[in-house]
Amino acid sequence: METRGPEVIRDKEAMRKWSRSVRSQGKTIGFVPTMGYLHEGHLSLVRESRKLADVTVVSIYVNPGQFSPTEDLSTYPSDFAGDLAKLSAVPGGVDVVFHPKNLYDYGVGEEGVTGSRRIGGGGAVSCVENGGLGHETWVRVEGLEKGLCGKSRPVFFRGVVTIVTKLFNIVEPDVAFFGKKDYQQWRIIQRMVRDLDFGIKIVGSEIVREQDGLAMSSRNVRLSAEEREKALSISRSLAKAKAFAAEGQTNCTELKDMIIQEIVGASGRVDYVEIVEQESLEPVEKIKSPVVVCVAAWFGTVRLIDNIEISGFA
């Protein structure tokens, strides 16, 4: 039996019309936002959506609004045909793939958005530039975005939250799925939905790992074989931290030092190692309530993030 591929919609008004037609039939919409180059982590979100919603929409859109001028948008990996094949192979399939060209193009002038720098051969907005007559509205979650990745990428989450808000307004889902590997992003989106009264349930799905423990990421393909082996120091040290905490080592400074030493010993460059409360993302000195240990580190030119949740200990 031939597998039917998902319908591909590129126009935002057509996407909204499709969603409203489905909702008028009393069906619920599950939504998985992605930037493409899909891996098993993304597909696990799709399978979760198949369980909890009547229909599933996956967006594939590389968002220029979250790339700074020092980051090359054109190097982000892409394989749209491969993505469609992977989505078609998921049991039950995907109903729609929303694949817009430029969600910051409001039809102002030939360049898409007057006055803004073009990025990556067609993008119109960078995360640090407003475009005169173009895009000027940004959504921020001011407290949760400050720490962790927000320290080294200060306007990254502004771009993420803005594009997710736009996608929510276009797709109009009932439930949306985010991977916990991007833990800060998941918590930020949860808070945005709560604060702005979106009628959308946000589901965080567990990290999907390679057999050797490396957290799945579209960036992993850019690691050399040697760098990939050394990058295992991240998941290895996180597992050790959780084991040490279970044995009574709840001093966060000592746990963080252990993780840093392991990563640096594997020739990694640490961006941050933080132990924070799971919802507020506030740093803690001693593990008494549920926390998450978050890591960002560079191996070669590739920045990787990972985390592990730890229950509280008296």
pTM for this one? 0.91
Equal CATH topology for 7-205 and 218-309: no
For the chain, the structural domain boundaries read 7-205, 218-309
Q: Do the beta carbons of residue 306 and residue 215 sit within 8 Å?
A: yes
pLDDT computed for residue 272 by the predictor: 98
User: Tell me, which fold does domain 218-309 have in CATH?
Assistant: Pantoate--beta-alanine Ligase; Chain: A,domain 2 (3.30.1300)
Determine how β-strand 29-34 pairs with β-strand 55-60. parallel
CATH of 7-205, one of 1.10.10.10, 3.40.50.620, 3.40.50.2300, 3.40.50.720: 3.40.50.620
pLDDT computed for residue 140 by the predictor: 96
Residues in Cβ contact with 190 at an 8 Å cutoff, skipping those fewer than 6 apart: 202, 204
- Measured between alpha carbons, how far is 134 from 111 in angstroms, rounded to an integer? 10
pLDDT computed for residue 72 by the predictor: 66
pLDDT computed for residue 130 by the predictor: 47
Q: Do the beta carbons of residue 62 and residue 73 sit within 8 Å?
A: yes
* 42 part of the active site: yes
pLDDT computed for residue 154 by the predictor: 86
Mean pLDDT by 10 residues, the chain (314 residues): 78 98 98 97 98 98 84 82 97 96 75 37 47 75 97 92 98 98 98 98 97 95 96 98 96 98 98 98 96 98 97 66
pLDDT computed for residue 67 by the predictor: 82
Q: Do the beta carbons of residue 97 and residue 84 sit within 8 Å?
A: yes
- Measured between alpha carbons, how far is 296 from 256 in angstroms, rounded to an integer? 12
